[in-house]
Amino acid sequence: MNLNTARALTATGMLLAATAVGMIDTSHNTASALSPRPCGFYSLNLPQGEQTGGYVHCGDSFILIRAHWDTGTTFTSCIPPWGSRPFYKDGAHKVVNAYYIPTRPNLSGPPGNQMCSTSQPRS
């Protein structure tokens, strides 16, 4: 193969690769589904299935969060170290905010292998 033919094939390959990359769908939904979530509460503008948002904990300790429904009611939830908690629709209602509260969560299990208990303080 001579040098001119090799250059032409290389240029053609680069053009095809650039065209293929340009055809990849990078819509907002796809990009947001692949990007990591920020620490704390997040809301999904377009629900992903039944999920409307969540909470991501970026720390080495168990924490308790308070979440608010759009009806005004609240609940608490324990989040493990570096854990997350998705929020899902409940009929027409959804969680609109969640934040850390300084109340110690209830834990179960032996030291070094603890997990969140099923019941948590309502503070």
Q: Among the residues of the chain, which ranges form H helices?
A: 3-22, 28-34
Q: What is the pLDDT of residue 50?
A: 92
The pLDDT value given to residue 34? 52
What pLDDT was estimated at residue 70?
96
Task: Provide block-wise average pLDDT over 10 residues at a time, the chain (123 residues).
Answer: 61 52 46 66 91 96 97 96 96 95 95 93 81
Residue 38 is predicted with a pLDDT of 84
First-residue to last-residue Cα distance in the chain: 77
Q: Give the pairing type, strands 40-48 and 84-88.
A: unpaired
Strand partners, 88: 51
CB atoms within 10 A of CB 18: 10
Q: What pLDDT is attached to residue 4?
A: 64
pTM score above 0.95: no
